[in-house]
C-alpha cells in the first residue's frame, strides 16, 4: 500500500513500511511551497512518547457546553498532551470564543498547515477550504496524472504542531494561520517522513489517495493561548475562499502502523 500519515514520531521509532520516497527535509518555503490551508484535529493524530500519548489528559466533556460536546461526539479524540492540570486556572478558566467553533481551554489540538508548490502562492486565493482545492490550485488534471510519487512528495507537504490551549496571554502567537510556530523550543525537534493526508474518513483500510506527501511534525507539545486560536479563526474568516468548514476541530485518524 501507499505510505500513510498519523504516525509515531517518537525519536528513534521505525515504522513497518519501507518507503523509497524521500521527504522534504528543510523548511517548505526554501523549496518553493506555501501554506494553502490551516485546520486542526481534536487531540493529536500523531504519537510522541512523553509528549502526546495515551498518558495525556484533558478536560472532561462539559454538559453545559453543547457546541463542544456535540463536536466531541462527532469527532474522534486523538492523543492528548501532558500539560493539563484541572487545578490550574490557565487550563480551567473558560474563554469567550468569538470566531472558532466548539473549542475548549485545556484540550489538545493538532494543527495542520498543508503546503504546496502548486498553490496560488502570494495571491488572495492562497488559502482554500477544503485544503485539496488549495494544494493543486494551479495544476490541471493532465499534469497531475503525470506526477510520480517523488514529484508529489517534493511539491506537497504538511506541517503539524500539537498544542494544549491555555487561557493565558503569555502564550499568545498572533500569526498561527501562517504556519508552524518556530521560536525557541517550538518547531525545533522535527520528525520528517512521507505519508498521506489524514482525517477520520481515512483509516488503515481506506488509504488516503493523496500519498505520498511530506510530513514535518513537531515532536513536542506546546501551550498556546485560546486568543491565538481565535485570532487564527478571525484571519481565516477574512480570506476570499470560504473557510468556515475549518473553524472547528476535525476528528483524529486512528494511528497508522
What is the arithmetic mean of pLDDT over 144-148? 76
Are β-strands 52-53 and 213-225 bridged in parallel, bridged antiparallel, or unpaired?
A: unpaired
Note the maximum CA span of the chain: 57
Judged against a pLDDT cut of 70, whether residue 73 lies above it is answered with no
Banded model confidence at residue 36, pLDDT cuts 50, 70, 90: very high
pTM confidence score: 0.88
- Closest to 194 in 3D by CA, of 151, 161, 240: 151
Question: Is the peptide bond prior to 225 cis by the omega test (within 30 degrees of 0)?
Answer: no
What stretch of H or E contains 219? strand 213-225
Report, as an integer, the average pLDDT of 164-174: 98
- Residue 216 pLDDT class (50, 70, 90 cuts): very high
Partner residues linked to 216 by β-bridges = 159, 192
Residues 108, 43 contacting (CB under 8 angstroms): yes
CA distances from 148 to 18, 141, 154, 155, 158 (A): 17, 14, 10, 11, 18
Specify the pLDDT at position 70: 56
Q: Are 220 and 183 in contact (CB under 8 A)?
A: no
CA distance 137 to 125: 9
Amino acid at each position: 500500500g501507499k505510505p500513510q500519515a498519523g504516525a509515531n514520531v517518537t525519536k528513534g521509532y521505525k515504522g513497518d513500511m519501507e518507503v523509497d520516497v524521500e521527504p522534504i527535509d528543510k523548511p517548505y518555503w526554501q523549496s518553493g511551497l506555501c501554506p494553502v490551508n490551516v485546520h486542526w484535529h481534536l487531540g493529536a493524530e500523531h504519537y510522541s512518547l512523553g509528549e502526546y500519548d495515551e498518558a495525556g489528559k484533558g478536560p472532561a466533556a462539559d454538559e453545559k457546553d453543547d457546541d463542544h460536546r456535540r463536536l466531541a461526539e462527532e469527532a474522534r479524540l486523538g492523543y492528548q498532551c501532558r500539560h493539563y492540570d484541572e487545578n490550574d486556572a490557565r487550563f480551567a478558566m473558560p474563554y469567550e470564543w468569538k470566531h472558532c467553533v466548539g473549542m475548549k481551554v485545556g484540550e489538545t489540538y493538532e494543527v495542520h498547515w498543508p503546503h504546496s508548490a502548486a498553490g496560488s502562492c502570494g495571491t488572495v486565493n492562497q488559502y482554500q477550504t477544503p485544503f485539496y482545492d488549495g494544494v493543486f490550485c494551479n495544476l490541471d488534471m493532465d499534469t497531475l496524472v503525470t506526477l510520480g510519487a517523488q514529484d508529489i512528495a517534493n511539491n506537497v507537504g504538511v506541517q503539524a504542531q500539537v498544542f494544549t490551549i491555555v487561557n493565558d496571554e503569555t502564550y499568545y502567537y498572533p500569526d498561527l494561520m501562517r504556519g508552524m510556530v518556530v521560536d525557541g523550543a517550538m518547531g525545533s525537534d522535527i520528525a520528517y517522513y512521507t505519508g498521506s493526508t489524514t482525517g477520520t474518513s481515512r483509516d488503515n483500510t481506506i488509504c488516503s489517495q493523496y500519498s505520498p506527501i511530506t510530513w514535518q511534525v513537531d515532536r513536542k507539545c506546546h501551550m498556546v493561548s485560546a486568543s491565538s486560536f481565535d485570532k487564527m479563526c478571525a484571519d481565516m474568516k477574512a480570506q476570499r475562499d470560504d473557510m468556515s468548514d475549518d473553524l472547528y476541530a476535525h476528528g483524529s485518524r486512528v494511528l497508522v502502523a
